Amino acid sequence: MSRVHSIKDTQLESHLFLNRIMAAFIAIMLLTTGLIVRLIHLQVAGHEHYATLAKDNSIKIYPIVPTRGMIYDRHGNILAENTQSYSLEIVPEKVKDMDETLLQLQKLLNIPDEKIDLYQKQRKRQKRFTSTPLLLSMSDDEIAKFAVNRPFFPGVDIKQRLVRHYPYGELAAHVVGYVGRINEAEVKTLSAEEYQGSTHVGKLGIESSYETQLHGKTGYAEIETNVQARPLNTLNETDAVQGANLHLTLDMDLQKTAYDALAPFNGAVVAIEVKTGGVLVFTSRPSFDPNPFVAGIANDAYQALQLSENQPLYNRALRGLYPPGSTLKPFVALAGLEHNAVTASQRLFCPGYYQLPNVDHKYRCWKKTGHGAVNVSDAIAESCDVYFYRLASTLGIDDMHNFLQKFGFGEKTGIDLANEKTGLLPSREWKLEQKKQSWYPGETLITGIGQGSNQVTPIQLARATATLANRGDVVTPFLVDKIVSATETRKGPETHQEIIPLKKSNVDTIVSAMVDVVHNERGTAHALKKDFDYLMAGKTGTAQVLGIKQNAKYNENAIEFKYRDHALFIAFAPANAPKIAIAVIAENGGHGASVAAPIAAKVIKQYLQDHNEN
């Protein structure tokens, strides 16, 4: 291309470009004028029309709160339902002087300060023009008092609401839990959209761990309102999806039997259906009535529950930590047989105490005079401590720890409840890590009889028992059997199963020794009234609360009740084809045989009776 040509082009291009700039400018001015014309149309010609619309008429979106799912036990008994109740509600935007209104209401209805505080917190997170409850479950008296004075309280009204109710009260409180008012911390974690109209959320138990399923999905109604937010008419609705109903594996008849039988002791009973892992009984005593928590429990009542020496709010079945005592022995014995530390027929001598080489300390058997030469069956039936000292010493802590771990000791069972405790299965690593100390041989002995640092939860103990009854087929306990929503029925949690490889003959030895505990006259639980026609396999246990000095005597009657030993009992039945496995812990019950075993027998008997009839 020649230079002359190129310059000519540049001039042409410049000219063309300037033309285009002008064209663009004109187009932009025209379009902007168009915008102005439209604005005049809206703001001058349409002003009156739109000003009226802005003033009178607007559309608001209101949440439609889904009805919370019900909770049933395995027989269809209602554990949690929604009942109609009347509540005192306030629309803050309609109240002129909120402080004054609250003060007057407080005077009129005797509302405690903490409910006012709770309301103040709750109303902050509500959408504008929504009604927020101040008092839930009003009494007839309160309704009447307010109704008379209603004209003096603009913006305050009585509304009907569905309120959670737990018909079984304290009996299922530790399983079902309860719902409560949504608090500030929960506001941050819950989906603002889903909980827009909700006042309550599951706080504990099944109510909390299945919150998503129980809550359902919030729907929306688009409602035409005036500026005072008075609804004029509903224009469009998206229905709420109701919460799913939960069917638990729990058997409330059995639960009641267990809870009553445990009295007067504090403690826990957990029973598991051996084949499935479904939890039949899950009792922690004492318990509490969850119903006051729904409306917001009064401060003093809550203080009383919290400060009570018996700790009714404490879920012993899930979080109670107890030394397993002699209930650990069948598992230790099985470990010994599986690791060939001892044979089934081999006899070890019990002179009433055991001493480690070159150590003065005497590890005592509960029977001062000694059991003589005992084999594994005798040792379990008679709960000989010296046999297990010797066995543990031969077996060693590492093999014992690893074997017991397979039965779920020292780890969470994975039951579908939150905040389960892990328990503690001592090991060399644990001690080094936690206490910065090496393992002492004496600790192996103590661990072998279930004392020392050993700690189990009742649910853990029941699970281990069920796994033994299942001959090594590991059981994962669960509570929710079915989740039934409007559209589908789903199974509860996946119960992942592992199998511990065990020699049949070894398991047979242990099971028959546990049968001897109950049915042989040498057995520690032999005194149990055997008004049943099947074989029950069991093991008694006693967990020390108070350390006893070397030469002191344990005198049950001389020491204060709260320092008495805990009574434990584990069992499954029928021994040859187990259906139910159970763990009972009666705090300060003294003896497993006399206190805990009858409770277990009662529950098992009732279950098998019901079961055979069906």
Partner 1 sequence: MKTETHHHQFENPSVIGTILRKLHIDIPLFIALSLTASLSFVILYSAGSQDMGVLARQGARIGLAFTVMIVLAHIDPYQFKRYSALLFGIGIVLLAAVLVMGQTALGAQRWLNLGFFRFQPSEMMKIAAPMMVAWYLSEHPLPPRSKQLFIATVLILVPSLLIAKQPDLGTAILVASSGAGVLFFAGLSWWFIIGILASLTALTPILWHFMHDYQRARVLTFLNPEADPLGRGYHIIQSKIAIGSGGIYGKGWLGSTQSELDFLPESSTDFIFAVFAEEFGLFGCAGLLTLYILIITRCLYIASQARDTYCRLLAGSLAFTFFVYVFVNIGMVIGVLPVVGVPLPLISYGGTSIVTLLSGFGILMSIHTHKKFLHR
Q: Which residues are catalytic?
A: 326
The answer to whether the CB of 374 falls within 8 A of the CB of 366 is: no
Q: How many CB atoms lie within 10 A of CB 19?
A: 10
Please state the three-class secondary structure of 327-373 as a single string.
Answer: HHHHHHHHHHHHCCCCCCCCCEEECCEECCCCCCCCEECCCCCCCEE
* Surface-to-core class of residue 489, CB atoms within 10 Å of its CB (0-12 exposed, 13-18 middle, 19+ buried): exposed
Least Å from the CB of residue 305 to partner 1: 41
Among residues 127 and 522, whose Cβ is nearest to partner 1? 127
How far apart CA 76 and CA 85 sit, in angstroms, is 24
CA 125 – CA 43 distance, rounded (Å): 35
User: Least distance (Å) from partner 1 to the CB of residue 48?
Assistant: 9
Long-range contacts of range 516-519, CB-CB < 8 Å, 24 or more positions apart?
516/377, 516/380, 516/381, 517/380, 517/381, 517/383, 518/571, 518/597
Identify the residue whose tokens are 């008012």. 181
Nearest approach, Cβ of 89 to partner 1 (angstroms)? 20
The β-bridge relationship of strands 71-72 and 245-248 is parallel
* Minimum distance, C-beta of residue 43 to partner 1, in the bound complex (Å): 4
Q: How far, in Å, CA of 446 to CA of 428, rounded?
A: 14
Residue 34 or residue 441: which is nearer to partner 1 going by CB? 34
Which residue reads 């077996």 in tokens? Answer: 395
Q: Residue 20 or residue 435: which is nearer to partner 1 going by CB?
A: 20
- In one-letter notation, the amino acid at residue 392 is A
Round to whole Å and give the CA distance between 246 and 70.
6
Looking at the Cβ atoms of 129 and 302, the one nearer to partner 1 is: 129
Smaller CB separation from partner 1, 18 or 301 = 18
In angstroms, give the least distance from the CB of 30 to partner 1. 11
- Distance in angstroms (rounded) separating the CA atoms of residues 603 and 614: 17
Closest separation in Å from C-beta 222 to partner 1 = 4
User: Shortest CA distance to 474 belongs to which of 530, 428, 414, 416?
Assistant: 414
- For partner 1, the closer CB: 59 or 263: 59
Hunting for tokens 């039965």 — which residue is that? 407
Those residues whose C-beta lies under 8 Å from the C-beta of residue 119, and which sit 6 or more positions away, are 90, 102, 132, 133, 134
Contact footprint for partner 1 (CB under 8 A): 9-10, 12-13, 16-18, 20-21, 24-25, 28-29, 31-32, 34-36, 38-40, 42-44, 46-47, 49-51, 53-55, 58-60, 127-128, 222, 227, 235-236
Q: How far is the CB of 36 from partner 1 (least distance, A)?
A: 6
Which residues have C-beta within 8 Å of that of residue 348, sequence separation ≥ 6? 342, 373, 374, 375, 379, 386, 387, 390, 391
Closer residue to partner 1 (CB): 229 or 313? 229
* Least Å from the CB of residue 20 to partner 1: 5
Instruction: Supply 234's token pair.
Output: 């509903």
Judged by beta carbon, residue 25 or residue 152, the one nearer partner 1 is 25
Q: Confirm if 244 and 213 have CB atoms less than 8 A apart.
A: yes
